[in-house]
Amino acid sequence: MKQKIKENGLSLAFLVMFLLTLAGQAIAGTALFNDQQLVNGGEPVSLLKYVTSSDFAVDVAENWQSEYLQFFLFITMTIWLVQKGSPESKKPEEAGTGSDEEQLVGPYARPDSPAWAKVGGIRLSLYSNSLGLVMGLVFVLSWLAQSVAGVASYNSERLLDLRDPVSWGTYVTSPEFWNRSLQNWQSELLAVLSMVALSIYLRQRGSPESKPVGAPHAWTGVEG
């Protein structure tokens, strides 16, 4: 048991932090919502009612979609684009999807390779791109969830302001939807840019996200 926890410590730590922060967001969000209810002449709502509301759903989904977009772009763009000196990048001469031999697929698969890496056709093609596909799919679904929850939350606000509600089509072309989306995208893209660029010159001893402390700045794709 202890060994299992140690072997999965990174996932477990992030899972616990994720659940705690989501709970924190729910509690803070309920308090903020109820504060706004006082202004609007409404009644305070329970934590359960808030976490099943479109207000909570849109706030959660808009952050999720941007995170999955970030990883989708990072995973797929680093196939072809390189950054000299960055441990997040491949060496310039390695750009591309790699040979079957390098990728250990088909006839080059090892006995302990995943089953779909040993076969050809659509299964190998799907499995070869499964990480990017899943990240991309979760991004699209989260963004869709943001739009559906967003139009509900936005229309509730519009009715409070004595304005007509809008359709989903109008909402997804509205400044409200794009402001929510773009403010998240810009921060995610800045975070990736910072990671790629700062890791050329800065080090974090012991982290696989960094080059070894003594590695020259020009070394690329070396993780320590």
Partner 1 sequence: MLLAVLSTALIAGCAVDATAPARTAERFHAALAAHQEDAACALLSQQTAEKLPDPGQTCADALRELKLGAAGPITSARVWGDDAQVRLAGDTVFLHRYSGGWRVTAASCRPRGDRPYDCGVEN
* Residue 158: CB minimum distance to partner 1, A: 8
Cβ proximity to partner 1, 60 vs 109, nearer residue:
60
Nearest approach in angstroms of CB 84 to partner 1 is 37
Choose between 16 and 213: whose C-beta lies nearer to partner 1.
16
User: How many CB atoms neighbour CB 7 within 10 A?
Assistant: 10
Q: How many distinct helices (H) and strands (E) make up the chain?
A: 10, 0
SS3 168: helix
Rg over CA atoms, the chain:
23
Closer residue to partner 1 (CB): 63 or 128: 63
Contact residues for partner 1 (CB under 8 A)?
40-43, 52-58, 60-61, 64, 138, 141-142, 144-145, 148-149, 151-153, 155-156, 158-165
The tokens describing 184, both together, are: 């998240």
Q: How far is the CB of 162 from partner 1 (least distance, A)?
A: 4
Question: Whose Cβ is closer to partner 1: residue 158's or residue 203's?
Answer: 158
Least distance to partner 1, CB of residue 141, Å? 6
Q: 58 or 73, CB closer to partner 1?
A: 58
Question: CA separation (Å) from 37 to 160, 161, 220?
Answer: 11, 13, 54
Q: Which is nearer to partner 1, 59 or 88 (CB)?
A: 59
3-state secondary structure of 202: coil
Minimal distance in Å, beta carbon 187 to partner 1? 21
Let me know the angle formed at the C-alpha of 102 by 96 and 105, rounded to the nearest 5 degrees: 105
Closest to 153 measured CA to CA, from 222, 223, 80, 55 = 55
Tell me how far, at minimum, the Cβ of 18 lies from partner 1, in Å. Answer: 10
DSSP-derived letter for residue 89 is: S
Q: 87: helix, coil or strand?
A: coil
Length of the chain: 224
